[in-house]
Amino acid sequence: MKRVVIAGAGFAGLNAAKRLSRVRDVQVTLIDRENHHLFQPLLYQVAMAGLSPADIATPIRSLFTHAPNVRVLKEQALRVNLERACLITDHAEHAYDYLLLACGAQHAYFGHEEWEPYAPGLKNLSQATEIRRRVLEAFEAAEREPVPEQRRRYLTFVVVGGGPTGVELAGAIGEMSRYTLARDFRTIDPRQTRVMLIEAAPRILMGFDEDLAARAMRDLESLGVQVWTHARVTNISEEGVCVGTEDIAASTVLWAAGVRASPIAATLGVPLDKAGRVIVEPDFTIPGHREVFVAGDLAFAKDESGAPLPGIGAVAVQQGRFVGSAVLADLANRPRPTFHYHDKGQMATIGRARAIAEIYGHKLEGRFAWWMWLLVHIYFLSGFRNRLSVLVQWGWSYFTFGRGARLIVPKEWRAYDGGATTLAATQPPQSVQASPPLHSASVAGGEPVP
C-alpha cells in the first residue's frame, strides 16, 4: 500500500485527499496545524462581524468520516528530509511514497515584522477574531472618551493594501459604521468614522480590469472610504501610520498588503521566487523528485501561456485535484495527465449590493455581480449546515443591515492570574472591616483549615 502524506488541509490539500480517498490501496495521512478546513474567501466577514467562525470552518475529520484510508493528524509541518523521504512535524516523522506540500502562505511585512502587533494580517480565524475585537473595541473606547482628539483617533481605521482583501475590509468597515452601528451609540456618531485604504500602486485591485477597479473605487468612496494610491507606508506604531512623511493618528490598523509562502518551502533546498514560493515543474513536482508535489499558495507555477497562476482558491482547488489524479495515474502505470488551468474569473465585494466580477471574460458590476458573488461563495462552502447558516445570516443582514456576530471576546481567559490582580480588585476599602477569607477546604464543604 502506497503512503501519501499531505501537509495542509486548505483548498489544494483537501481536494487532493478527497480524490485519493476513493482508492483503497492508498493510505493518506492529512496533516494540518488546525483541526478545521477554513473557507478563506469569507474570512474577512468573520473579521467584520458578519459571520461567526463556525460558519466558514468545517472540522477536517468530519469530511473524511466515510474514508477509512484517510488519517487526519493535528500537527505542525516543520521540514522535509528528501533523502529519507519523510516529513518532520512537531510531533513525529512521517515516511512517504508521495508527498504533497500545500501549507499555504502567511502575510508579510516586507522586512518590517515589528509592525505586526500594531497591524494584524488576515489569514486564519485567530487573526479574524482579533481584528473583530480591535474594531469593535475602538467604537466602545470612542463612546467613553471625553477628549475629541483622542475620540477621532479611535474612530479612524486604516487598511494597508488595495487588493481584494483590503478592499473588502475597508468596504465592510465603512458599511458597518454607517448603517449597522449608526443607532447603537449615544455619545458618538459612527457615521463620522474615518476609513482609509492605503495602496502603493497606481490603483487598487491591480489584478482586475481597470474599469472594474474604478467602479470599486467609486463604491468605496460612496461608503465614506478614502482611497490613497501611490502611497507607501513607512512606519506603523501604536499611535497610527506614517504614509510618506504624513502621520495618521489611528487606533486600528489592518494589514492586507503582502503575503509570503510558508517557511517549510525553504527546507526543500530548491529554487524559490521572491515571495518564498517553490518554483515547480509543470506537474507541480520539484526538480529531481517526482514523488514530491507542491501546490496552492506555496507553489509558483505557470499556465500554458507562460503566465504565473494567481494565488486564489480556484487555482488551488484545480491543482489539488490534479495532484490526486497524477498519483493515481502512477499507481495504474499510466502517464500523468497534463495540467490545464480553467480560468473561471475573479470577484470582489465592496459592500451590500456592491461588487465587481470577471467571469469567463465578461465584466460584471453592481447588484448583479453581488448576487453572483453570493451564489458562488455559498456553493463552494464545505457542508450543508455552513451553506444554510451563511444564507440565513446574509439574508438577515441584507434586510436589516444587522451583523449578528458583533461579539468582543477578550484574549484573557483566566479568572486568577496568580491572585495579585484578582485580590487587588476585590480588596475592600481599608476603613471597612473585611471578613477573613475562606480556605479551600471550607469552600469545598469540609472542615475549615486553621
| Per-residue 3-state assignment (H helix, E strand, C coil) for 57-73 | EEEHHHHCCCCCCEEEE
Triad 45, 393, 381: Cα angle to 5°: 65
In angstroms, the first-to-last Cα distance of the chain is: 67
**Cα dihedral sign for 334, 293, 30, 2?**
positive
Helix, strand or coil for residue 259? strand
Which among 137, 168, 199, 365 is annotated as catalytic?
168
Q: Cα(238)–Cα(415) distance, rounded to whole angstroms? A: 28
**3-state helix, strand and coil shares in percent for the chain, rounded to the nearest 5:** 35, 25, 40
Neighbours of 166 (CB within 10 A): 24
Query: If you ran DSSP here, which 8-state letter would residue 25 be given?
Result: T
* Gap between the Cα atoms of 272 and 137, Å rounded: 40
CA distances from 354 to 222, 343, 381 (A): 10, 23, 21
Compute φ and ψ for 139, nearest 5 degrees: -65, -40
3-state secondary structure of 227: strand
Say if residues 138 and 154 touch (Cβ distance below 8 Å): yes
Q: What is each CA distance from 96 to 17, 61, 84, 180, in whole angstroms?
A: 14, 21, 9, 51
Q: Is 168 a catalytic site residue?
A: yes
Instruction: Just list the catalytic residues.
Output: 168
